[in-house]
C-alpha cells in the first residue's frame, strides 16, 4: 500500500501494531503472573530485536514476512529458554544480563543502519 510517496509494507504495519500494543499495555496496566515475571523483560527485548531487524530488512529491500515471524518467535523462545536454564542453574541474573547485552548490541546495530537509511548519516 502507498500513502503519498511512502510505501507501507508489512514491516510498517508490524511497527504500528507494536506501538498500539505498547499503548494498550500501558493504559490497561495488566498484572503479570509471578511465574512469567522473570521472562517478560527478556522476551520484550528479544521481540524488539526482531522488530528492528525486520525494519532494517525492509529498508534493505530484503524483508520476508515468513523470516520475520519465525525470527520473532524463535528469538523470544530462545531468550526465555536461556533465562529458564539460568534460573535452574542458579545464575539466572547473569544470563539475563548477557542476553540483554547481546540483544542490545544487535538492536543498536540495526538502529544505526536504520538511521543511515532514513537520514543518510
**With a threshold of 0.95, does the pTM exceed it?**
no
Which of 13-22, 45-54, 95-104, 107-116 is least confident? Answer: 13-22
Is the per-residue pLDDT at 92 higher than 60?
A: yes
Question: How much is the average pLDDT of 6-22?
Answer: 76
**pLDDT category of residue 1 using cuts at 50, 70 and 90:** low
Is the per-residue pLDDT at 59 higher than 90?
A: no
Is the per-residue pLDDT at 36 higher than 80?
A: yes
Instruction: Report the mean per-residue pLDDT for the chain.
Output: 86
Question: How much is the average pLDDT of 60-68?
Answer: 89
70-104 as b/e: b if 16+ CB within 10 A: ebbeebbeebbebbeebeeeeebeebbeebbeebe
- The half-sphere exposure of 3 on its side-chain side, counting CA atoms within 13 A, is 4
To 10 degrees, what angle do helices 92-119 and 65-89 make?
Answer: 150
**pLDDT category of residue 108 using cuts at 50, 70 and 90:** very high
Amino acid at each position: 500500500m502507498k500513502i503519498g510517496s511512502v510505501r507501507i509494507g508489512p514491516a510498517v504495519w508490524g511497527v504500528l501494531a507494536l506501538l498500539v500494543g505498547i499503548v494498550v499495555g500501558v493504559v490497561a496496566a495488566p498484572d503479570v503472573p509471578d511465574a512469567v515475571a522473570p521472562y517478560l523483560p527478556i522476551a520484550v527485548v528479544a521481540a524488539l530485536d526482531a522488530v528492528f531487524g525486520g525494519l532494517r530488512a525492509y529498508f534493505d529491500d530484503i524483508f520476508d514476512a515468513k523470516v520475520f515471524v519465525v525470527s520473532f518467535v524463535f528469538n523470544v523462545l530462545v531468550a526465555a529458554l536461556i533465562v529458564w536454564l539460568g534460573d535452574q542453574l542458579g545464575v539466572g541474573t547473569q544470563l539475563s544480563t548477557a542476553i540483554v547485552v547481546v540483544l542490545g548490541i544487535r538492536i543498536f546495530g540495526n538502529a544505526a543502519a536504520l538511521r543511515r537509511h532514513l537520514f543518510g548519516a
